[in-house]
Amino acid sequence: MPLSKLGFRRLQIIDKCLRSNMYKYPNMEFLIKAIEKRLLLDVSIETIQKDIAYMKMPSPNGFDAPIYYDRARRGYAYSDPSYVLAGVPLTDHDYNTIIESVAIIQAIAGSRIGDKFTSAMEKVLSITLEEFPNSPKSYPILQTMNPQQSRGFEHFDIFYDACQNKKPVSVIHYSYTKRRFSSLTIHPFMIKEFENKWYVLGYSEKHDEIRTFGFDRIYSPIALKKPYRYTDRKIIDEKTQEYYGVYPIPNQAKQQIVIRANALATNYFEANPIHTSQRLEKNENGSSTIYFHLIPTLELSRLFLSYGRHVRTLEPQWLSSFINKL
């Protein structure tokens, strides 16, 4: 008979007690107290006796646990100290790392992905019979910008599956700039997050080129059973490494971009480089000339603009004019 989650937790606690170096040969009373303290409910001697018998049963019905009762010390122990109840043993460090990972993913990715990850980790920990902490009431010590869930984020799963399993997707797209709907097929290869907005990158049959589509402008994506058009790895690398942001300015190749930053803005660029190509030449007064070698994007233009008088675009001239018109 399959063991309940509560049953697993009891076994987990018994296992920990038997492996404890602090209190060796725990007796029945000790085990009951340990379980009652952790699970906050009463357990009987019979329940613990059944649990121990269950642990001792041969696999696959039981866990092959080499538990014996030491009459001299009046307590239980493992005859094989290397025995672990199930799966791979986790050290405290392993366990804490998993719990920290879950907290970080919850904070960075938001509740949807975080919850999926938590659920997966609960399964991993249940295999190792480690207990997942029930601490939703604890005050978070890690906080990232966590905006309200944006429109279109519900498409995450279908696009993730499409990227992973190479499925073209039929979507309804609404262009904010053209104010026009269209139905089109994309062959997605990547999901990208930038400034808390989500995008899917893929080959668009209609445009006959790689395009980026904001989740918020997509309606009703449907995965298609038709051949998937693969995108060259070089193009994918270009999309991921040669941009700052998401939307490239049309018809612009990778090029050198030069800005002048005053001392205040220099501090920010120095502390938070925005691209791997960033090279900063600092002047005596703290201002700097900063060089980039990348494909110019709308987001890069907006970033420079956001610094106001603290940043001036020197090269190329067309980008300076473009930013002034934004």
Residue numbers of the site for another protein (CB under 8 A)? 158, 167, 170, 172, 174, 179-185, 219-220, 222-226
Residue number with CB closer to another protein (162 or 257): 162
Cβ contact 133:121 at 8 Å: no
* Shortest spacing between CB 165 and another protein, in angstroms: 10
Longest distance between any two alpha carbons in the chain, whole Å: 89
Based on CB atoms, which residue is closest to another protein, 39 or 184? 184
As given in the structure block, the two tokens for residue 48 are 């613990």
* Pairwise CA distance, residues 225 & 207, whole Å: 20
Whether the bond between 60 and the residue before it is cis, its omega within 30 degrees of 0, is yes
Give the span between the Cα atoms of 241 and 249, in whole angstroms: 16
Q: 136, 202 in Cβ contact below 8 A?
A: no
The rounded Cα 235 to chain-centroid distance in angstroms is: 24
Alpha-carbon distances, residue 199 vs 152, 192, 195 (angstroms): 10, 5, 11
Q: Whole-number minimum distance, CB 159 to another protein, in Å? A: 12
Sheet holding 169-175, edge to edge: 169-175, 180-194, 197-204, 209-214
End-to-end CA distance of the chain: 67
Whichever of 162 and 323 has its CB closer to another protein, that residue is 162
- Which residue, 10 or 167, has its beta carbon nearer to another protein? 167
Nearer to another protein, 211 or 260 (CB): 211
Compute the least distance from the CB of residue 114 to another protein, in Å.
23
Nearest to 99 by CA among 39, 86, 91: 91
Contact 156, 110 (CB under 8 A): no
Query: Nearest Cα to 112, choosing from 172, 186, 198?
Result: 198
Distance in Å, CB of 306 to another protein, minimum = 25
Q: How far is the CB of 224 from another protein (least distance, A)?
A: 5
**Could you tell me how many residues make up the chain?**
326
Q: Please, what is the minimum distance in Å from the beta carbon of residue 225 to another protein?
A: 4
- Which one, 224 or 274, has the nearer CB to another protein? 224
* Shortest Cβ 174–another protein spacing (Å): 6
**Judged by CB, which is closer to another protein: 158, or 259?**
158
